[in-house]
Amino acid sequence: MSHRARSVTDMTTPQPTLDDIGEPLSSTTFVVVDLETTGASANTCEITEIGAVKMRGGEVVGEFQTLVDPGAAIPPMIVALTGITDAMVTTAPRISQVLPGFLAFLGDAVLVAHNARFDVGFLKAACRTHGYEWPGVEVVDTLTLARRVVTKEEAPNRKLGTLARVFGTRVTPNHRALEDARATGEILHGMLERLAAYGITHREDLDALRSFVPREVRSKATMADKVPTKPGVYIFRGPQGERLYVGTSKNLRSRVKSYFTRAETRGRVKDMVSLAVDVDVIVCPTAVEAAVLEVRLIDQWRPRYNRRSTRPERTSWVKLTEEPYPRLVLSRSSNGEGIALGPMRSAADANLAIEGLQQALGVRTCRTRLPITPKPGASACILKDLGACAAPCVVGADSDYQQTVGLVREALSDDVSVVVDRLSATVTDFAANEDFERAADLRDRISAVVDGSVRTSRLASLSACSIVAVRRVDDCWELLSTNRGTLAATRRVKAGVWDAASELRTAAAQLDVTTALVEEQHLILTWLTTPGTRLLYVDGTWASPVTGAGRYSAWVKARDDDRVATGSTRWQ
């Protein structure tokens, strides 16, 4: 069966384990913080008190409180508001002494504050001033949450005291840091209970709270509850079971839920989200396998709301026409007789490459299909007089055009140095004459020719061999095998690399190879050319398990020398 009719990975979705689902908010550690200060500006004012409450599952597991000597008099208005006087902070530690203890108390917990911009701004400013690194923890602002879950009928404003009455907190805010932090913690717990009904149930969902999402969309987030947190492909389905959209992610659960918990700006995706009623997922061992599977499924199914990868037939190539006196054309396929330059990045790049080849080699630009023997009375265009065309239209087989065609074929298949040398000399002349606009245009043509040649060489080399490669990813070894440019399988292992490589080689040998999609080949090449990647097997030759030395295929030559990483020689 063709690989387009069958995915790399078994289409069966395994039952997710508790570890797959992510960290529930009931198990997440929050540190709710409140500050009292000498004023509103973190640049000119100082902290006078820090209060923090560590919570997990709605229960308090620790508290942190201290007054802070601001090093200056506290304004009378602040004294009246907070009750903190100069006499109270005279013997208190300075903020430089307080920060280490507070940062240790915070750890990697989620930081919570009411109007978090104010509190976090002061803490970051203090860290900068005294040489401490801000930990960059997740931040939840209960003021922002209140705007999402508390209606105007419930509360005329979003002040801390008002919210405390709405949620019936046991602690009443009083402009002292610890009491306000305790009240904020109770308010947080009450709002998270409300948000659970809209799919905000896990730690990775917290980022979504910064965006406004309609309630009817947010309520669909529960369809991600059973999706694992592993790499793979997701398929949204509509009311009739139709496939609406195919995507991929390193964390399936987080990505699927994000469609319903974050404000979506893409019109097509907004329409898809409004129709989606279910989601299927296919777990893959690696992100590259998931990306390849996504490309294959989009090509196979052509989902209504996918835009990328849905038209592989629109890929651009530069080819010679099949006629007695060929000319260069943009083609949507590399199939058929002859050779082609590409795939090009775009049709615009293909046209630039055509213009560059025409200018450098004298390929005819007229679109007329010429007879082998010129017609009596045939006349040439001005390009013949300018020396830019061998004019087979009037000279016929006696012209130098066949030599020109030979140079073009060489440039399309292997070597563009002649084209680059000739055009570069012209660029130099233009620049010397301060004709910079024409020099820039010609530079773009050179770039298009060279880029097309590199892409041609890389894909041709990949398609000519079978490969097993490995690289270190996090705490695992990630392996990949290909057969003639088609992905066969991938693995992630912590040990037993050579055993896994042998299995992948067998899988590649048994693969029913068909012409791989260009986008699939580019995904494979991107993985192979990532620094740290090592080849274990290339066309019948295994690398040494001791030294890691092996035979590199031709595609490596197209890779920049500085990207060939040595990697580790210990595979197991």
Active site residues: 175
Q: How far apart are CA 32 and CA 34, in angstroms?
A: 7
One-letter-per-residue 3-state SS of 280-319:
EEEECCCHHHHHHHHHHHHHHHCCCCCCCCCCHHHCEEEE
Asked if 144 and 56 count as a contact pair (C-beta separation under 8 A), the reply is: no
Q: Residue 155 has which token pair? A: 């509360």
- DSSP line for 93-140: PBHHHHHHHHHHHHTTSEEEETTHHHHHHHHHHHHHHHTPPP----EE
> How far is residue 354's CA from residue 372's CA, in Å, rounded to a whole number?
24
CB under 8 Å to 453, separation ≥6 — which residues?
341, 411, 416
Q: Pairing mode, if any, of strands 316-320 and 243-249? A: unpaired
The label of the residue with tokens 């620790």 reads: 62
DSSP string, 470-526: EEEETTEEEEEEEETTEEEEEEEESS-HHHHHHHHHHHHHT----PPPHHHHHHHHH
Length of the chain: 572
Q: Residue 199 — left, alpha, or beta (φ > 0 → left; ψ -120 to 50 → alpha)?
A: left
Q: With H, G, I as helix, E, B as strand and everything else as coil, classify residue 37.
A: strand
